[in-house]
Amino acid sequence: MSEHASVPLKTRIDAHVIIGGKYHDMDTPRLELLKLLGEHPEIRSTVACDYSGLERLEQCRFLITYTVDVIPTPEQTRQLEDWLKAGGKWLALHGTNSILAFTEEGLVDAPEDTTGVMKLLGTQFKAHPPIGPFEVEVIKPDHEFTRGIGKFEIVDELYIMDIKSDIDILMQTTFEGEATGFTQSQWDKTTVPILYTRDIGEGQIVYNALGHCRGHYDLPGMVDFYPHKEMCAWNYDVYYDLLRRTIAWAMRP
């Protein structure tokens, strides 16, 4: 008998990864996510920088997105929704729910979505305060994504969001104060989802709002050399734990 005969054969799993956008280091999340996927040799991935080519999803069990100010067209949104309804799984990270525009005064605005993707995702980014520490509360401690994880503090870019659809919040924080540089700058005390799920037909979205990343060369036309590299959640074991748990969920039929 071959020494490998008792090793169970694994079934290939296809995944699609979309990483791209503005004002962030996209190379680090791309590399780190592919390394995490590479822990599972049965996962075969394709990588894109926008939502073109979504016919690829027909072969994929799951989708991962890490984007900033990159959104699908209305037709691409319908493709995503149909795929989810049929059982697709979408891990959306950090700025996936962002649309950005600058006013004449130089403030950052978050204009309302006209494609339907924010309603599909369940939230839309509106502003963030300066990067700093905040406490994340686990409110569904028995969920597979959160089990065994207690309250923790993290330094990251806190994405304040409008909730557009029903979501199931697993982790959250609160914010009250000023989001400097945004048109919506003053915020009364508000609950901020950090990790949530949203069911779409037979499929599901998992949104993890953590994961800001900026290197020295990620603000072209604005700052030639950004002096303070920002790794935020990518410096924390708990973030990698959450990503690994979500990938394990996404791999299941």
Mean pLDDT of 56-85: 98
SS3 labels along the chain: CCCCCCCCCCCCEEEEEEEEECCCCCHHHHHHHHHHHCCCCCEEEEEECCCCCHHHHHHCCEEEEEEECCCCCHHHHHHHHHHHHCCCEEEEEHHHHCCCEECCCCCEECCCCCCCHHHHHCEEEEECCCCEEEEEEECCCCCCCCCCCCCEEEEECCCEEEECCCCEEEEEEEEEEECCCECCCEEEEEEEEEEEEEEECCEEEEEECCCCCECCCCCCCCCCCCCCCECHHHHCHHHHHHHHHHHHHHHCC
| Predicted TM-score (pTM) of this structure | 0.95
- Say whether pLDDT at 222 is over 60: yes
Does the pLDDT value for residue 75 go beyond 90? Answer: yes
Task: Note the pLDDT of residue 6.
Answer: 61
Name the residue range of residue 25's domain: 13-126+161-169+193-251
Number of domains observed in the structure of the chain? 1
Asked, for residue 92, whether it belongs to a domain, the answer is yes
Average pLDDT, the chain: 96
Residue 138 lies in a domain: no
In a domain, 51, yes or no: yes
Whether 224 is covered by a domain: the verdict is yes
| CATH assignment at residue 203 | 3.40.50.880
Domain annotation covers residue 211: yes
In this model, does residue 141 exceed pLDDT 90? yes
- 117 within domain boundaries: yes
Asked if residue 150 is part of any domain, the answer here is no
Query: What percentage of the chain carries pLDDT values higher than 70?
Result: 97
Residue 6 lies in a domain: no
At residue 9, the pLDDT reads 77
Binned at pLDDT 50, 70 and 90, residue 5 comes out as: low
